[in-house]
Amino acid sequence: MKISVTGRQFEITPSIREYVESRIQALVEDKALDFSSAKVVMDYQKNSFKTTLVVNCKYHVVPAEVEDFDLYKSFDACVAKVDTQLKTIREKIRSHQAPPLREVAEVEEEAVEE
């Protein structure tokens, strides 16, 4: 997966880049969606940081944007927003799938017994 980290009005240090990449890898690691890329733009405006995170996966684009006085807090809030959106997408995918035949057979047996 391609991860792009961009800083506006300030320089992205190796520690920031490492933190961002590790958090995004942890975010997409446990999901069963096919991720292609993630783009992080961190912008310094006056006394606050504005972080924009866009995660691209198969058939979905998941954006999030947060503004905070701390760079790490703004990024963590973005990751939390994206995580919530990915959980919703995953639940929708799972709810539209057919139930396992085992469960269907159990429900039919209970209906026959009643």
User: For each of the chain's 114 residues, which pLDDT tens digit applies?
Assistant: 899 999 998 899 999 999 999 999 988 886 678 888 999 999 999 899 999 999 998 888 999 999 999 999 999 999 999 999 998 988 887 777 666 777 767 777 777 776
| Orientation angle between helical segments 71-95 and 14-29, nearest 10 degrees | 20
**pTM beyond cutoff 0.85:** no
Provide the pLDDT for residue 93. Answer: 79
Q: What is the CATH topology of the domain spanning 2-113?
A: Double Stranded RNA Binding Domain (3.30.160)
The residue type of 81 is K
Provide the pLDDT for residue 34. Answer: 84
Burial letters 53-84, b for 16+ CB under 10 A, else e: bbbbbeeeebebebebeebeebbbbbbebbbe
Provide the pLDDT for residue 40. Answer: 95
Provide the pLDDT for residue 76. Answer: 95
Give the helix/strand (H/E) hosting 33: none
Provide the pLDDT for residue 82. Answer: 94
Provide the pLDDT for residue 112. Answer: 74
